[in-house]
Structure 1
C-alpha cells in the first residue's frame, strides 16, 4: 500500500471519529505531540461537520 493510499484510508477513518472517542484519544496520548495530533484531527472533523450543518441551514 502506498503512503497516498494509507493517508486516504486514514482520512476516511478520521471522518468517522466520534467526539467522545476523540476525547479519549487525546487524554490517552503518550506524548504531547500525539495529543496535539489528535486534537487537530478532532478540530478538523468538527469544523467539517459544522460547515455541513451551516450549508444545510440546520442551525
Structure 2
C-alpha cells in the first residue's frame, strides 16, 4: 500500500512528497518554464547520478 511506502520515508522526504502532491492540485498560472515548479524535489546528488547515467548512455555504441 502507499501508506506503507510513505511510512518508510524520513520526515524531510515526507514533507517534500506532501509539497509535490499539493502542487498537483494547485491552480497555478502557466509559467514560462514549467520545470521550475519541480525545483527542489530532486536532491543534488540524485541529479548528478542522472547526469552521469545520461553521459554513460552517450558512450554506448548501438549496432
Q: TM-score, normalised by structure 1?
A: 0.31
Bigger radius of gyration:
2
Q: TM-score, normalised by structure 2?
A: 0.30
